[in-house]
Amino acid sequence: MRLRTLALLIVVSTAGCHPLPRGGTTGADADALARAMERAVHKDEWDRTGAVRWTFRAVGQTHRLAWDKQRNLAQVSWRNHLVHLDVANKSGRAWTKGVEQTGKKHDELIEDALKIFFNDSFWLNPVAKLFDDGVTRQKVLVKGKPALFIKYNSGGVTPGDRYLWLLDENARPVAWRMWVKVLELPGLQVSWEDWRSLPSGAMVATKHRFLRTTGVRIADVQAAPSWAELPATDGQSSSR
């Protein structure tokens, strides 16, 4: 699930809700807008970023992640747990308080770590996934301005989630509205702000606000061309 931990932040309310967009066009117009979004956040440079480390912070949640993008391996730590993941094979090794876990506890930690990884890596750079398999794109107008309506028909943990990207004049996201299974606020609008440039030139947003609060922060972002060049910190070794 791409937004699993955000569910813990929501107080049931009608404030901030929006209806699903109507109309819109698919095909070349929608794809051109999506490509413009990719250029606005320097997706080509993101694709050349071989490894990245960051901290995902939300109310009651702190996760530290390191991702070897080239080999699709990851390290995920939270509370007293550390998991080394082979993301593609959904397997790995898990430790609690430094003690390696086996059996049912191992399986539970692998499952939890995969959910955290899919959620937190999606928040890190969802613009990189606009053309994934199973994604449909529609160009719509919101107050006369072009916006991109996205549906994930497959992938993640909750296929069917939908997002409406609101853009500035350069096609860089300023907010999205979400219709996702885990939230009780349909069309909740969340900001995309405090954009930072990684060493590669790729751009990531590090602050997301909704209902006048800071809901999600992406902190301590580090990136490198390869895993071997990513600095080790907080017990997360860059040797695998």
Tens of pLDDT, residue by residue over 33-42, are: 999 999 999 9
Give the neighbor-by-neighbor strand order of the sheet with 73-78.
Answer: 99-100, 91-96, 81-86, 73-78, 61-68, 51-58, 213-224, 203-210, 193-197
**179 has a pLDDT exceeding 70:** yes
* Boundaries of domain holding 12: 4-62+125-224
With respect to residue 169, please indicate whether it lies within any of the assigned structural domains. yes
Q: Which pairs from 29-35 meet CB under 8 Å and 24+ separation?
A: 29/139, 30/137, 30/138, 30/139, 30/148, 31/137, 33/137, 33/139, 33/146, 33/148, 33/167, 33/171, 34/130, 34/131, 34/137, 34/148
What does the alpha-carbon distance between residue 155 and residue 93 come to, in Å, rounded to a whole number?
23
With respect to residue 159, please indicate whether it lies within any of the assigned structural domains. yes
Write the DSSP symbol of residue 33.
Answer: H
- pLDDT tens per residue across span 64-101: 999 999 999 999 999 999 999 999 999 999 999 999 99
Tokens found for residue 67: 């991702």
With respect to residue 15, please indicate whether it lies within any of the assigned structural domains. yes
With respect to residue 92, please indicate whether it lies within any of the assigned structural domains. no
Asked whether the beta carbons of 166 and 144 are under 8 A apart, the reply is: no
- pLDDT tens per residue across span 104-132: 999 999 999 999 999 999 999 999 999 99
Q: How many domains does the chain have?
A: 1
Alpha helices in 41-81 (DSSP H): 43-47
- pLDDT tens per residue across span 6-65: 554 444 445 568 899 988 999 999 999 999 999 999 999 999 999 999 999 998 899 999
Higher pLDDT, 156 or 62: 62
Q: Which residue has the tokens 């979004």?
A: 37
With respect to residue 231, please indicate whether it lies within any of the assigned structural domains. no
With respect to residue 134, please indicate whether it lies within any of the assigned structural domains. yes
With respect to residue 239, please indicate whether it lies within any of the assigned structural domains. no
What does the alpha-carbon distance between residue 88 and residue 131 come to, in Å, rounded to a whole number?
19
Asked whether the beta carbons of 226 and 233 are under 8 A apart, the reply is: no
* pTM for this model (two decimals): 0.88
> What pairs with residue 58 in β-bridges?
61, 216
With respect to residue 71, please indicate whether it lies within any of the assigned structural domains. no
Question: End-to-end distance of the chain based on CA atoms, in angstroms?
Answer: 27
